Structure 1
Amino acid sequence: MSSNTVKAYTRDLEKLHVWLAGMGYRELPTTISDARIKEFNHQLAGTVQPATQARTISSLKNFFTYLALEDYRKDNPMELIEAPRLGRKLPDTLSVEEIDKLIAAIDRSTAHGERNRVILETLYACGLRVSELVALKISDLYFEEGVILVTGKGDKQRYVPIGDSTIKLIEFYINEIRVHAPSKTDHTDTLFLNRRGRGLTRAMIFTIIQDLKAAAGIKKKISPHTFRHSFATHLLENGADLRSIQMMLGHESITTTEIYVHVDRTYLKNVLEEFHPRASY
């Protein structure tokens, strides 16, 4: 698993640990009962969002399944615990015009402004997760082949195509901006650097986007992931097939990519009109 996934699972296990301690209960993972788990789940349902509850239940189920498989206990106290049903939420997207407004709001008179422009262009042009963007290395750039090597969830790697205009922007950033920013010894290969010569954090990318959102006067809720959603939606709107989008996004299952079909209703209408024998006369 990726380090972010490990941290999330650890936080979920800590929720149970902290709750047990707060209630004065002394059960161990090897002795905790079904009734105690139900009590914890009831408290959880009243204090967190359904999506958080569902993930916590999933983490605990996997944990207790492991304990049972390794003979630390004979049963799984999570066996009868059901996660809340979650509807699939359609992702928020930006229009091309809104993306242009965000980029136009950048103060390009500074080195960090130029860097931020390249960051936004790369997020949108390649459909990267924010964790993939901050992990990008100069040695991951294969511009002659027109691709970049991206390390995604679970350290799975994939090649993502990159357009000529984005290549030129990144090359300008490397040769004219980054070259004047001394990097720390362990970040000499990191593509995007902060003022201290280290790699940017995910939180910093989020802050950059929120500041630009305010400057551009955009009201909708956005995050770095919104650029990834917009990348996929705009590809679909312009005729790209789902399989290609799936490969570029690094989705394991095509069903994850299929959500973008529901975002773009015109895509479904065009499919109907093109392929159904009675769509038009």
Structure 2
Amino acid sequence: MANEEFVLGGDLPVRRLGFGTGGLVGPGYWGPRAGPDEARELLRTAVERGVTLIDTADNYGPDLAEELIAQALHPYGEQLVVATKGGVVRTGPDQWHVAGRPEQLRGQCEASLRRLRLDRIDLYQLHRFDPAVPMAEQLGVLAELRAEGKIRHIGLDTVTAEQLRLALESTPVASVQNAYNLLDRTSAAVLAVCEANGIAFLPYYPLGSGALARESAAAVASVAAAHGVGPGQVALAWLLHHSPVLCPTPGTGSPVHLAQNLEAATVHLTARELELLDALDG
């Protein structure tokens, strides 16, 4: 079985199968999805079931996901890592724009600290590079925030392999978050850079926006049937087997789906099954 833990940034051990909070807010990441009591209970259940990495962003809601995390889980357990993101501003359902000026990033980080009730954010991820702002300025303010003790580690979201290599020339990077799943491996070059540098890769859309949980190729269906699980669990298990730096954080608003997602860590794929699944790329 794949290793269950990854040491984030060289000093933060987390269980590789985490929990993403995008499913706790409404469609298009706007407004609430359900009652706050249900969302808070789902967060508590995830932690009770062993999740040690919670992935969120200031624009989920906006603000709502971070507020729910604090309401449900503060004071945080010693093993719990809360990762959040800044660098974009959401103005409506599926409507957002990048905001990477240093003063914007600093303000967003400090607002996340207040909402999460933290003195330091363990992993602060730049949600997008702002093409109108030099990369050095965006990374520079994050490095300043780290030096000030407001963040512990820097992460990047939606980057190319070349951008990641350039970033590494100026600052350590603890994580990358790009789209990656059983049927979408367009970020394979980014994954290779992460593997070479010990960087966590938090694949977003690990279930292909739910498509992999609803339907699958014949190979996925056959593997799922052999293990008595669903195709979504096979897709998550494949990520855990595929690379030791992959740390999927599937999101959901359903307690049933949460349990199914976490059970993926117990699916032991054989070498033959991995060959069948590896051949599905694209």
TM-score range, shorter chain: under 0.3
More helix by share: 1
Greater Rg, structure 1 or structure 2? 1
Instruction: Calculate the TM-score normalised by the size of structure 2.
Output: 0.24
More strand by share: 2
